Structure 1
Amino acid sequence: MSDEERATVVQLHNEIRNSVALGQLKNWPAASDMQQMSYSNELEELAKTHLENCVFEPGCIGCNIGLDNRPGQNLYAMAGPANWTRAVNFWGQAPIDFVMPSGPGMPVRMKVSVLSQLLWSKSNKVGCAWKDCYAKTGNSLYLCNYMPAGNEYGGHVYMSGQACSRCPKGTCCSNSCPHKPQPAYEGLCARLPAAATKTTTLRSASVAGGIHDFLLCSALDRAHIKTHCYQPLWTLVGGGIKQVCSSTKPMSEVIPSQAEWIQDAAQTFAPQENTVVTKHGLKIKYDFLVVAMGIQVRFDMIEGLVEALETPYVCSNYSYNTVTKTYQAMQALKEGNAIFTYPATPIKCPGAAQKIMYLTDAYLRKEGRRDKVDIIFNTSMGVIFGVRKYADALWDVVKGRGITVNMKHELVQVLPNKREAVFRLLDSTANPKETVTFKYNMLHVVPPMTPSAILKTGPSFTDNTGYLDVDGETLQHKRYPNVFGIGDCTNVPTSKTAAAVAGELGILRKNLTNVMKARHRPKSYDKCILAEFDSKAEPLETFPFNQAKERTSMFYMKRDMLPFIYWNLFLRGYWEGPGIFRKAMRLGFSK
């Protein structure tokens, strides 16, 4: 084997594996844990030994190693000179006979073949040899050995899901690894080198994970994330009005070209040392830090929910992997109960929990099935909405549409085999653990949400609820003056929405700039950061008409205008909320 042949073998394997991982092959699910191959000289030597006597059969002949250590194998025979492209492509085009998973994160199983070994996600080393055996067999024989071996009895070829979303421990997504493997592949998990630790010093840094990181990229030039999702659009995706692909853009199209993009996740905060340590061991020293980590969606906090989401009856608009199931469940709903939930924790986009319920009602009326379906809203809250004016209007809506509302009902368990949802009664004084069970034909779940546990790694970094502890008026950390926070990860008393962040951006930009220039007191923050009502739950409307009334124009604004503002103004740091328009429409007589 020449170096050129070795490079060809590895490249061909990785290109085929990468195309499968990215879901580019028709009818094949994407792979979430597909590892990148590297070449092994040891496996090549075993292949040479195997072919020494021109025996065309599997079994690692002459290996003299135990069964547990034997590699997986693929064999090929053809006449003529060496042609590894033909051999590997033959394995990659073997007949397909596999089990389609029922949802993301499910194992993909395939009839044992050369193709299943080539795609075995855990195999990350390959070593090959060929031998001219024309005198004995009339062909040249080709053999590739793989470790860890594939085609394991009872095992799976790979796990379905978004590429790189389940990279094994000790690996990272190839095209975003800190050690920058070459070549890099968008869909493959590359092994980290034994030592992947170095230190980088930055003037200012942003640790981000929610939608807020991108506006900070524009303002402060730091962020990390791979694909950006415009999550407010998922309400319309779940309602069958928009496609999920229209809600995403690659990070490379959103982050400013002048930004230094560290494609790694924060693992530890050490604010007393002005340091952030990443998942892969990179130590980042900073002078100033902005934390915009968003909030975590926790399907795992409800017993049985993760398994239930693999069934066609349970859905959620709060995840890219589950949002398309909502419209499918809506279409399949013929009769029975359609239940919509609201958790007992703070959540992002709280209005979205009800929006999909009203879209379902409209769809069922259009299809002539509404009279056969009971729509039920079970909320952990004691009010239908946090602002009195809009709550009164929403009560009129649910009554007019025949929707049942149950207060203080917290979803605690889903029994997918029985199609039952169990709710804890939060206002039960006789028995604090009292529950009630509902049958469902469609169950839309808004999961509990929590701040990232990583925030707690920094001493005195969070409040007692786990949120970043910042001043509610300045967004400056209460203990570390060179640290600021924005958005859902903070304990600022606002709703957790993109509109709130738009209002926060201007004050953060001014205050951080002042601190960086050694000015003393940051400018005061007026807290009017939530779209259409302030942090005191008082209406703060933009338009000079009653926005509590249902209007078609508001629907068109959400569907068409807000995405335009988001992609073209908000992410570039040019949108600080509708305040200027609010004043203009009221001749200056407004906040």
Structure 2
Amino acid sequence: MASDGKITKSGAAKEQSRFNIVIVGGGSAGIATASSIFKRNKKVSLTIIEPSDVHYYQPGWTMVGGGIFSVDFTRREEKRLIPGRAKWIKAAAEAFDPDNNLVVTADGQQIGYDVLIVCPGIKLDWKAIEGLPEALGENGVTSNYRHDLAPYTNQLVEDLAKGRALFTQPPMPIKCAGAPQKAMYLSCSRWEKAGILHNIDVQFHNAGGVLFGVKEYVPALMEYVERYNAHLNFESTLVAVDGEAKIATFEQKTGDKTKRVQETFDMIHVVPPQSAPDFIRSSPLAAENGFVDVDQATLRHIKYPNIYSLGDACSAPNAKTMAAARKQAPVVAVNALAALEGKPPAADYDGYGSCPLTVESGKIVLAEFGYGGKLLPSFPTWLIDGTRPSRLAWLLKDTILPPVYWHGMLKGREWMVKPHQIDAD
């Protein structure tokens, strides 16, 4: 294989199998898209390339860290979720040869396709923070971005009676951009109820320059920042963790100058830097930023018309959330089937994403927005005003969305996400 992610001619083997549609990635986006495709065409031949045995409802990990869900509640066997009409190739994709319509897997399989859909998720780069991989899971160092660590977050919050709690957010893009501060709010809510919040120095270190990227939601969030007396540190990027010494090192920008600042902690919730998976970044499918280079409306590859991408791995400038993948999946399903017939894309995507910001136990600020920060609420404001904390929005997150995920989205039931037709008004 060449260093640019293509299959070299000298090393290329003949394709071992061929399908109408090949989906790389069996997470939320991949399974939802496959199910939406079969909903429209049961005769299409389709395979999903996915190495994992276990599938997680990742939006639930914040709730695990908050002591609301158990890890088991967020976990299912992959084989039970793959659509029955799909073939599961249990392997990791390694490279692409788009000129010959081939995907090569890590175990050497060469899979041919008429249409390719790429949705392997995003890379969590734990190693990008010095000392972090060794520190995780002990000495107060945790993260809700790993299912095995979210219960440790819950334990730390439960056990902490006084001291300093740090919460960090890396540079964008990251999946679920609200999750770093959601961990802080849920922790503070519990300390407040226990009557010990005044004993805890809460700090939020954000590599970015604003609390949230869509300004309409900031006033409600700031009310909670002030209520919990959390200290905001913008343009403050975590670069190192010493677990045994309980010291976190940040690079902080002030104007044109950058300085290193060390903070002691009793607990620290870390969100790792994130990027496109290595095999995507080194492939001919990658945009300059490393993600799959797509048109943001049709989600079709800029160069290869029979390739689509969605979810966290695509370059579209939407928020990387499960809600975005849920909206994207029917669009890609419609367009992939059109491509099979040699037709242009028939549906488009408006950039919709949702971030239920758990500001306290029992209340959520339901951020819903599309490209350019345009507000795209799913409900009338008299029912749920997304710019204000709501108990009904909590009910949505706590009770309604998990079954919608397992029994709706992953089954191709497109409740409230019917694809918008390009020729429609």
For Structure 1 versus Structure 2, the TM-score category normalised by the shorter chain is 0.7 to 0.9
Cα displacement string for residues 37-78 of structure 1 (whole angstroms, at most 9, x for unaligned residues)? xxxxxxxxxxxxxxxxxxxxxxxxxxxxxxxxxxxxxxxxxx
Contact 1:239 1:356 in 2 (8 A): yes
Task: Show the counterpart of 2:264.
Answer: 439
Task: Show the counterpart of 1:539.
Answer: 375
Contact 1:212 1:501 in 2 (8 A): yes
- Separation of aligned partners in 1, 2:329 and 2:415: 6
Task: Show the counterpart of 1:458.
Answer: 283
Cα displacement string for residues 323-379 of structure 1 (whole angstroms, at most 9, x for unaligned residues)? 111011112212111110000131111111111111101111222221110111110
- Separation of aligned partners in 2, 1:508 and 1:360: 38
Task: Show the counterpart of 2:209.
Answer: 382
| Aligned-residue offset at 1:578 | 5.4
Contact 1:341 1:445 in 2 (8 A): yes
1:449 corresponds to 2:266: no
| Aligned-residue offset at 1:222 | 2.9
Cα 1:399–1:475 shift into 2, 3 Å: same
Task: Show the counterpart of 2:25.
Answer: 208
| Aligned-residue offset at 1:271 | 0.9
Cα 1:363–1:579 shift into 2, 3 Å: farther
Contact 1:469 1:491 in 2 (8 A): yes
Task: Show the counterpart of 2:332.
Answer: 508
* TM-score normalised to structure 2 length: 0.86
- Separation of aligned partners in 2, 1:275 and 1:526: 27
| Aligned-residue offset at 1:426 | 3.0
SS at match of 1:426: strand
Task: Show the counterpart of 1:95.
Answer: none
Identical aligned pairs, as a percentage?
A: 33
- Separation of aligned partners in 1, 2:246 and 2:200: 15
Cα displacement string for residues 85-134 of structure 1 (whole angstroms, at most 9, x for unaligned residues)? xxxxxxxxxxxxxxxxxxxxxxxxxxxxxxxxxxxxxxxxxxxxxxxxxx
Choose which of 535, 549, 570 in structure 1 pairs with 2:409. 570
Contact 1:501 1:529 in 2 (8 A): no
- Separation of aligned partners in 2, 1:266 and 1:506: 23
1:302 corresponds to 2:129: yes
Contact 2:20 2:340 in 1 (8 A): no
1:340 corresponds to 2:176: no
| Aligned-residue offset at 1:496 | 0.1
Choose which of 281, 284, 292 in structure 1 pairs with 2:111. 284
Gaps of 5+ in 2: 1-12, 38-45, 355-367, 420-424
Task: Show the counterpart of 2:303.
Answer: 479
**Mapping for residues 159-170 of structure 1, pairs under 5 Å:** none
Contact 2:115 2:339 in 1 (8 A): no
**Counterpart amino acid of residue 450 in structure 1:** S
1:523 corresponds to 2:346: yes
* TM-score normalised to structure 1 length: 0.62
Contact 2:295 2:302 in 1 (8 A): yes
- Separation of aligned partners in 1, 2:416 and 2:177: 18
Alignment RMSD, CA only?
Answer: 1.9
**Counterpart amino acid of residue 553 in structure 1:** L
Cα 1:502–1:357 shift into 2, 3 Å: same
- Separation of aligned partners in 1, 2:23 and 2:130: 35
**Counterpart amino acid of residue 250 in structure 1:** E
**Counterpart amino acid of residue 331 in structure 1:** E
- Separation of aligned partners in 2, 1:462 and 1:486: 13
Cα 1:222–1:215 shift into 2, 3 Å: farther
Contact 1:499 1:577 in 2 (8 A): no
| Aligned-residue offset at 1:245 | 0.6
Cα 1:510–1:396 shift into 2, 3 Å: same
| Aligned-residue offset at 1:539 | 1.5
**Counterpart amino acid of residue 535 in structure 1:** Y
- Where relative contact order (Cα < 8 A, 6+ residues apart) is larger, the structure is 2
**Counterpart amino acid of residue 373 in structure 2:** A
Cα displacement string for residues 526-566 of structure 1 (whole angstroms, at most 9, x for unaligned residues)? 41422321111121112222221112221121011000110
Gaps of 5+ in 1: 1-195, 581-590
1:326 corresponds to 2:153: yes
Contact 1:312 1:325 in 2 (8 A): no
- Separation of aligned partners in 2, 1:454 and 1:577: 34
Choose which of 364, 380, 395 in structure 2 pairs with 1:556. 395
- Separation of aligned partners in 1, 2:116 and 2:414: 22
SS at match of 1:363: helix
**Counterpart amino acid of residue 376 in structure 2:** L
1:233 corresponds to 2:50: no
1:245 corresponds to 2:72: yes
| Aligned-residue offset at 1:210 | 3.6
- Separation of aligned partners in 2, 1:258 and 1:483: 21
Contact 1:299 1:447 in 2 (8 A): yes
* Aligned pairs, number: 382
Task: Show the counterpart of 1:4.
Answer: none
Cα 1:240–1:197 shift into 2, 3 Å: farther
Contact 2:296 2:349 in 1 (8 A): no
